[in-house]
Amino acid sequence: MTRGQRIVLLIGVIVLGVAQASCARVESHYLLPPLAAADPAFLPTLEAYTSPASDGNTVDLLLNGDQIFPAALAAIRSAQTTITYAQYFYEEGAIGLEVAEALAERCRAGVRAHILLDGFGTLYIPAEYREAMKRAGCEVSTFRPLSPMVLLSPFGFGTSNNRSHRRILVVDGRVGFTGGVGVRPKWLGDGRKDGR
């Protein structure tokens, strides 16, 4: 290695070290102030971090797959104009096939569906599910697709967790689902059995 190459390497290491050190001290902007729901500042603070609240909305708490999947499938099957769906975990199984078929059916009926699947969390989704949705007219995209070069590259080290952990379903801009469930057999049932 020549002297010039060593100097460039040293400068690069210093720049990376300074960049990493400066990012490590950045305060999280996700920290909400401690407020009780009865506090007058609660609703304005919630709106500042999300979107304006409006009257006439309802919220249903769905617990485990026994409640979540039937409600989500019913919403998908009732879609008239649009479906927006972002999912982190999606893999092979009866529920995965049922969701893919329901989305594909609505796309064949003329509903516009925009589906975003994470490249890592959907490693085990069968290609047939994606292809069925695409053939039906659904727009299916992958967030940060994985490739062997990225996984094996020293520059790709640690990037596999820069994922879209979103689990969101919005039907016709009026009915929305969010939470921690993935389309995976382990989320089926009542959540009271080992492995569920």
**84, part of any domain:** yes
* H helical segments located in the chain: 3-24, 42-49, 64-78, 94-108, 127-135, 148-152
- Closest by alpha carbon to 111, among 85, 130, 149? 85
Question: In the structure, what pLDDT confidence band is assigned to residue 173 with cuts at 50, 70 and 90?
Answer: very high
Burial class of residue 89, CB neighbours in 10 A (0-12, 13-18, 19+)? buried
What pLDDT is stored for residue 57 in this prediction?
83
Predicted confidence at residue 60, as pLDDT, reads 87
Per-residue model confidence as pLDDT tens digits over 17-59: 666 655 555 555 556 667 787 888 887 877 777 767 677 888 8
State both tokens at 116: 């975003």
Rounded Cα–Cα distance for residues 112 and 107 (Å): 6
Instruction: Specify if 164 maps to a domain.
Output: yes
**Which structural domain range is residue 136 located in?**
62-187
In a domain, 67, yes or no: yes
pLDDT of 153? 55
The proportion of the chain whose per-residue pLDDT surpasses 90, expressed as a percent, equals: 42
CA of 172: how far to CAs of 15, 75, 103, 132, in Å?
48, 9, 13, 22
46 domain-assigned: no
pTM over 0.75: no
- 169 lies in a domain? yes
Residue written as token pair 């479906």: 83
CA angle 62, 67, 71 (to 5 degrees): 90
**CATH code: domain of residue 144:** 3.30.870.10
Residue 193 in any domain: the answer is no
Name the average pLDDT for the chain.
83
Confidence (pLDDT) at 5: 79
CB 146 within 8 A of CB 121: no
User: Rounded to whole angstroms, how far apart are CA atoms 59 and 47?
Assistant: 16
The per-residue pLDDT for 180 is: 84
Report d(CA 148, CA 159) in Å as an integer. Answer: 13
What is the average per-residue pLDDT within 175-185?
A: 90
In a domain, 5, yes or no: no
Question: Do 172 and 81 form a contact (C-beta atoms < 8 A)?
Answer: yes
Domains in the chain: how many in total?
A: 1
Query: Is 36 part of any domain?
Result: no
